[in-house]
């Protein structure tokens, strides 16, 4: 089965600092999704990457899928308290199932 490992598991940063979250797959990725979850709530879609080398940005969040399509990174520039939450990567896997990463908990200190 597909495995998605995220690092770091948790992150505490000072407001204004930049940070990066990584998502590494055990298999080739054919579509990689990033979601944000506020504690105990539903997931909010951030962005989707399809092609190796593809990079997308939305406001202060940039995500990239590497050329070999087995790793993605999510970068937040000048973090704000509103960025706090759990970030999850997700991807299609074998058996038409969808797999989520292990999650990264982000805390932004004002």
Partner 1 sequence: KAGVTQTPRYLIKTRGQQVTLSCSPISGHRSVSWYQQTPGQGLQFLFEYFSETQRNKGNFPGRFSGRQFSNSRSEMNVSTLELGDSALYLCASSMDYRWGVDTEAFFGQGTRLTVV
DSSP 80: -
- Burial level of 77, CB count in 10 A (0-12/13-18/19+)? middle
C-alpha–C-alpha distance, residues 64 and 46, integer Å: 12
What Rg do the C-alpha atoms of the chain give, in angstroms? Answer: 13
C-alpha–C-alpha distance, residues 90 and 21, integer Å: 13
Using the rule CB under 8 A, is 110 a contact of partner 1?
A: no
Contact flags string 14-43 toward partner 1, x per CB under 8 A: ----------------xx-x-x----xxxx
Using the rule CB under 8 A, is 44 a contact of partner 1?
A: yes
Using the rule CB under 8 A, is 59 a contact of partner 1?
A: no
- Listed in sequence order, the DSSP H helices in 13-67 are none
Minimum CB separation of residue 10 from partner 1 in Å reads 13
Q: Return the residue of 50, 57, 80, 107 that touches partner 1, per CB under 8 A.
A: 50
Using the rule CB under 8 A, is 109 a contact of partner 1?
A: no
User: What are the residues binding partner 1 (CB under 8 A)?
Assistant: 30-31, 33, 35, 40-45, 48, 50, 88, 92, 95-103
């Amino acid at each position: 089965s597909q495995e998605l490992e995220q690092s770091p598991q948790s992150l505490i940063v000072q407001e204004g600092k930049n940070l990066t979250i990584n998502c590494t797959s055990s298999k080739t990725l054919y579509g990689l999704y990033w979601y944000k979850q506020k504690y105990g709530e539903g997931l909010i879609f951030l962005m989707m990457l399809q092609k190796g080398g593809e990079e997308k940005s939305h406001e202060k969040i940039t995500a990239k899928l590497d050329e070999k399509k087995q790793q993605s990174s999510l970068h937040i520039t000048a973090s704000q308290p509103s960025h706090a939450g759990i970030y999850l990567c997700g991807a299609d896997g074998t058996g038409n199932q969808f797999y989520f990463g292990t999650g990264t908990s982000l805390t932004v200190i004002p």
